[in-house]
Amino acid sequence: MNGSPGPNVLIDYASVGAAAAEHTHTAAQVGAIASTARGSAGGVASLDSSGKVPAAQLPDVWLPSDLGLKVWAFDPAVGSSSGVYPSSGSVRITSVVLHSSQTISKIVWHVFGYAGGLLSGSNAGIFDTSGRCLAQVGDMAGESKLPGVHNAGGATVAAPLTASVTLPPGIYYVAWWWRYTASPIDGPMLLVADSSSPGPPGRFGLNNIVRYGVISSTPAFPNTLSFSALTDGPNRFWCALA
């Protein structure tokens, strides 16, 4: 008979509970993964509050955070063992991708060596995919923002932004426009990925994202990026954010 029991029907809830217990199944019996397998050896990875696999559960590889950075263009250890000058008066661009929200206060390069400082007007900044400038270092004249480097193997240097900026997940472009001293001519020699070809690719994949590029002979640091003016250029410069 369907429906609720009548007023004179007594229900033995203890018996109902026992019957329910008899139908309890293990994860293996229903083809599921046990909750104890999350984040354990031989189990499955768990997700953190941002929906990502925690770094502790990833393979043993170097991550930007291991070197005090938030994101980098690539692992600097696989870069070329000889540096390249980005040239004076050209806008150099390297893209980075954030997979979680990060507060950024510095732009970072690895400098093999230079002395004398940059000329007035030299600057660097972070741009979004629409070309809008989100943050910048400000005038980098002299060596106050980008210290001279004189040791073998170079050094990683960080130029502070005028104000920290919190960036949501996405692709960002780090751009810099430097003017070198004229006598003697000198500017920062930077770490690059393999750039032995006169025209290595700066765009990969199917969505035409620019990872490395140059806008040649511009009169000043840009307020907005013109992606139509970007060319692949001969060099793929390393940079990072911290």
The 10s digit of each residue's pLDDT in 33-82 is 777 767 666 667 678 776 777 777 777 789 999 999 999 999 999 998 88
pLDDT in tens, 188-200: 999 999 887 777 7
Residue type, 46: S
The pLDDT of residue 209:
86
pLDDT at 15: 56
Q: In the chain, what percentage of residues exceed pLDDT 90?
A: 50
Distance CA 78, CA 192 (A): 9
Q: How far apart are CA 53 and CA 37, in angstroms?
A: 14
pLDDT of 92 strictly over 80: yes
* DSSP track, 53-90: --GGGS-S---GGGGT-SEESS-GGGS-SS-B---TT-
Joined together, the tokens standing for residue 200 give 């290595």
Residue 22: the pLDDT is 60
Q: Tokens standing for 231?
A: 């060319």
Residue spans of the domains in the chain: they are: 26-59, 64-241
Vertex 75: Cα angle to 125 and 100 (nearest 5): 60
Could you tell me what percent of the chain has a pLDDT over 70? 83
Give the count of beta carbons closer than 10 Å to the beta carbon of residue 118: 26
Q: Which of the given ranges, 32-41, 47-56, 149-158, 218-227, has the highest pLDDT on average?
A: 218-227
Q: What is the pLDDT of residue 105?
A: 98
* Distance (Å, whole) CA 20 – CA 3: 20
Q: Is the peptide bond before 86 cis (omega within 30 degrees of 0)?
A: no
Instruction: Give per-residue burial for 197-215: e unless 16+ CB within 10 Å, then b.
Output: eeebebeeeeeeebbbbbb
pLDDT score recorded for residue 21: 54
pLDDT band at 7 (very low <50, low <70, confident <90, very high): low
Whole-number Å distance between alpha carbons of 137 and 178? 12
Structure tokens at 216: 């040649």
pLDDT of the residue at 69 = 98
pLDDT(13) > 70: no
pTM, two decimals, is 0.78
What pLDDT digit, counting tens, does each position of 102-148 carry?
999 999 999 998 777 899 999 999 999 999 999 999 999 988 898 88
